[in-house]
Amino acid sequence: MTAAALELFARSVTSLPPAIMAACLVKRCTYLLREATRLASAGSPVGQLRLARVAHRTLTSSATSPSSCFPGSLSQHVEREQAFTHYPERQEVDELIEKATRPEEVLELLGGGHCLHQNHGALMLIQLARLLAEKPEGKASLIQDARFQQLLHLVNNQITAVWHGTLVKLLRSLYVLALPAASRELRSVEQEVRWRLRRLRYKHLVFLAESSTAYMQERGSQELLAELLVHLERRWAEIEDGRTLVAIMTKTGHLSESLMNRLEDKCLELVEQFGPEELRKVLVALAAHNRRSVPLLRAISYHLVQKPFSLTKGVLLDLAYAYGRLGFHQTQVFQRLAADLLPHTPSLSSGEVARCTKSFAFLKWLNLPLFEAFAQHTLSRAQSISVPHLCNMLLAFARLNFRPEQEDQFFSLVHEKLGAQLAGLDPSLQVDVLWALCVLQQARGAQLQAVLHPAFHTQFLGARSPKGQSTFQKLVHINATAQLEHPEYTGPLLPATALVPRPSAPDRKVTPLQKELQETLKGLLGGADRGCFLVPTQYGWVLDAEVLLDPDGQFLPLRDFVAPHLAPPSGGQPLPPGAKRLAFLCWEFPNFNSRSKDLLGRFVLARRHVRAAGFLVADVPYYEWLELKSEWQKGAYLKDKIRKAVAEELAK
């Protein structure tokens, strides 16, 4: 056994000068002899067993491969060496490498007559990378250094004998040292890693995934990266702990769909053991890669609700962000987030408050105490809050149609802050902000003028992109607000022609609710000319149904009469005295705040506009319609809606 180890060792030091080699041999022999005696005489059965096994493997392998020239036999030796539970004794040089505080000290070891075994060169490179991690200027001059080149060369020659753990660190170090992508030494280390991928321990693969995937992408090491991902995926069952799982997910989840699927499966298995930090990381990784894995989100939600662990501010904010980004609704989680966040509000920064408000708005989750606290927070930081943060809050408030209790103070702060700055914002953000103010009924004449002015709005008229079209749509709503809710407003307005070339009713699918409403209503009307369906208006809203009622509540034919709300306006005859237009507006589940019967801001605005345009409004919310079973019930429901709308009008 000693002889075999000696032979192995001798091969590993052949690149050293003969004198040093001899010294090393003596030292190493002494060590091996001592070890062998210790193991044998210790009498421990484990020790003897190990010894026997190693001896056996050595014998059999040297019988089958007497020559050591083949890479196969070399790597066998590497494996064999790793079967020793005792690595070679720590030498002085190990300590010197570790303790070096300057690259120079490391390089000096090369010429110092030290006894270097096959790992030392790699360890030196690793230490150099550690020392230079933060110093790009040092790297360039190091790479020029002849001793560094000599070191690279040495490592390159010994590469097959470097231990697994050292090898993966070596690769990362070469990346950190910014060796040129075409460097022969770098390529050879990468090649060696590829060869060994199957044999590396899973933790080594994870180390590479964590520390080096970004480099591999940058440096064009696509093959290695692809193989690494394949191995990570193939051996996913070896993942044992949450930390590892989360690390792979965060670093490589976006690189391989199939790996990510595996990781999500594994997550389901381990989620029970996760602490808040891991739950957070998994959620953030899912959000970052936009992966709405419902079973996993459900499981995570379950643990967040059930487990008593306390969630820090940072975790709470990230959770809110991730749920918002993924649009995953889980009432109990939101209740917990809101309740846990509330006491933290005073310590949040304005940016955090803005971000959090936005997350909850995405989720359509209006928690009044929390939102009041956010508004209060904004008021108390009036001096320091920035316009972008304020804009984010406004957009979120408008989405949920939330007006703080201290409405007047809040909006005067908004107007004071926006003041001169509004005009300087990105044009589409400017439209968004003004639209939000319209929803919240806080827009001012001068602000309306600014965006409705041709010099401003022209840029959006021909917009084709979805974003551009949505901005134009908001401009139409602002135009309608000016016209319907600001009687003193004198213009400018959007030209009527702006609406004509585009189909104002987007080819939205007719929902079951809309379809049933149409069918039921047709049954009541007694004539095709007595009702219109999906009527596009010049206000940018589509009426689900429109009818005209005479003072006795009878349906009149629609088409003969003036219809200023249409785009373009039509008809010539004035309405008969006492006649009233009535609009049916269907409200679907997604039109409401989560878990509530309060409409989102957008639909509140629509409803207000339709009323301001002179319509009676009959609301048909999904939750009422779903209760109606028979045709007869549906008809009676609609008749009742009409009666109530008329009565309400009379009561005014």
Ligand X SMILES: *[C@@H]1O[C@H](CO)[C@@H](O)[C@H](O)[C@H]1NC(C)=O
CA 106 to chain centre: 42
Q: Give me the residue whose beta carbon is nearest to ligand X.
A: 496
Amino acid sitting at position 240:
E
Stretch of residues binding ligand X (CB under 6 A), selected from 100-108, 300-308, 489-497, 618-626: 489-497
Residue 452: closest CA among 461, 439, 442: 461
**Least distance (Å) between residue 476 CB and ligand X:** 5
Q: Per the structure block, which two tokens stand in for 530?
A: 């007595």
x/- mask, ligand X, residues 369-408, rule CB under 6 A, reads ----------------------------------------
Long-range residue pairs from 631-639, CB within 8 A, at least 24 positions apart, any chain: 631/520, 631/523, 634/516, 634/520, 635/520, 635/523, 635/524, 638/517, 638/520, 638/521, 638/524, 638/584, 639/524
Q: Are 199 and 164 in contact (CB under 8 A)?
A: yes
| Total residues at interface with ligand X (CB under 6 A) | 9
Q: Per the structure block, which two tokens stand in for 449?
A: 């003028």
Among 26, 46, 181, 496, binds ligand X (CB under 6 A): 496
**Least distance (Å) between residue 497 CB and ligand X:** 8
Q: Toward ligand X, which CB reaches closer, 68 or 458?
A: 458
What is the rounded distance in angstroms from the CA atom of residue 568 to the CA atom of residue 579?
A: 22
Among 239, 316, 451, 498, binds ligand X (CB under 6 A): 498
The 10 Å Cβ neighbour count of residue 402 is 23
Tell me which residues in 76-135 interact with ligand X (CB under 6 A): none
What is the rounded distance in angstroms from the CA atom of residue 75 to the CA atom of residue 81?
A: 10
Residue carrying the six token digits 């088409």: 559
Q: Toward ligand X, which CB reaches closer, 13 or 439?
A: 439
**Least distance (Å) between residue 567 CB and ligand X:** 6
Q: Toward ligand X, which CB reaches closer, 76 or 538?
A: 538
Q: Toward ligand X, which CB reaches closer, 315 or 498?
A: 498
Q: Per the structure block, which two tokens stand in for 218?
A: 């940058």
Stretch of residues binding ligand X (CB under 6 A), selected from 51-59, 166-174, 391-399, 490-498: 490-498
The 10 Å Cβ neighbour count of residue 650 is 7
Hey, is 396 helix, strand or coil? helix
Stretch of residues binding ligand X (CB under 6 A), selected from 28-36, 120-128, 232-240, 494-502: 494-502
Q: Toward ligand X, which CB reaches closer, 256 or 479?
A: 479
Q: Toward ligand X, which CB reaches closer, 422 or 448?
A: 448
Q: Toward ligand X, which CB reaches closer, 210 or 485?
A: 485
504 near ligand X, rule: CB under 6 A: no
Long-range residue pairs from 288-293, CB within 8 A, at least 24 positions apart, any chain: 288/254, 289/253, 289/254, 289/260, 290/325, 290/326, 291/253, 291/260, 291/264, 291/326, 292/326, 292/327, 292/328, 293/264
Q: Toward ligand X, which CB reaches closer, 200 or 452?
A: 452
Tell me which residues in 509-538 interact with ligand X (CB under 6 A): 538
Q: Toward ligand X, which CB reaches closer, 244 or 483?
A: 483
Q: Toward ligand X, which CB reaches closer, 156 or 538?
A: 538
Among 499, 549, 585, 606, binds ligand X (CB under 6 A): 499
Q: Toward ligand X, which CB reaches closer, 91 or 504?
A: 504
**Least distance (Å) between residue 400 CB and ligand X:** 26
Tell me which residues in 449-488 interact with ligand X (CB under 6 A): 476, 479, 483
Stretch of residues binding ligand X (CB under 6 A), selected from 34-42, 65-73, 495-503, 579-587: 495-503
What is the rounded distance in angstroms from the CA atom of residue 206 to the CA atom of residue 213?
A: 10
What sign does the CA torsion over 320, 326, 327, 332 have?
Answer: negative
Stretch of residues binding ligand X (CB under 6 A), selected from 139-147, 250-258, 292-300, 496-504: 496-504
Q: Toward ligand X, which CB reaches closer, 315 or 499?
A: 499
Residue 507 φ then ψ, to 5°: -70, 60
Q: Toward ligand X, which CB reaches closer, 122 or 484?
A: 484
Angle, helices 350-362 vs 313-326, to 10°: value is 30
**Least distance (Å) between residue 493 CB and ligand X:** 4
**Least distance (Å) between residue 452 CB and ligand X:** 8
What is the rounded distance in angstroms from the CA atom of residue 532 to the CA atom of residue 557?
A: 10
494 near ligand X, rule: CB under 6 A: yes
Q: Toward ligand X, which CB reaches closer, 320 or 494?
A: 494
Residue 447: closest CA among 478, 472, 476, 468: 478
Among 125, 395, 493, 638, binds ligand X (CB under 6 A): 493
**Least distance (Å) between residue 283 CB and ligand X:** 42
Residue carrying the six token digits 């999904």: 622
For 379-394, give the DSSP string. Answer: HHTTTT--HHHHHHHH
x/- mask, ligand X, residues 532-571, rule CB under 6 A, reads ------x---------------------------------
Residue 631 contacts by C-beta under 8 Å, 6 or more apart in sequence?
520, 523
CA dist list (Å): 72 to 53, 158, 196, 393: 20, 14, 11, 65
x/- mask, ligand X, residues 162-181, rule CB under 6 A, reads --------------------
Residue carrying the six token digits 């596009």: 536
**Least distance (Å) between residue 538 CB and ligand X:** 4
**Least distance (Å) between residue 601 CB and ligand X:** 20
Interface residue list for ligand X (CB under 6 A):
476, 479, 483, 493-494, 496, 498-499, 538
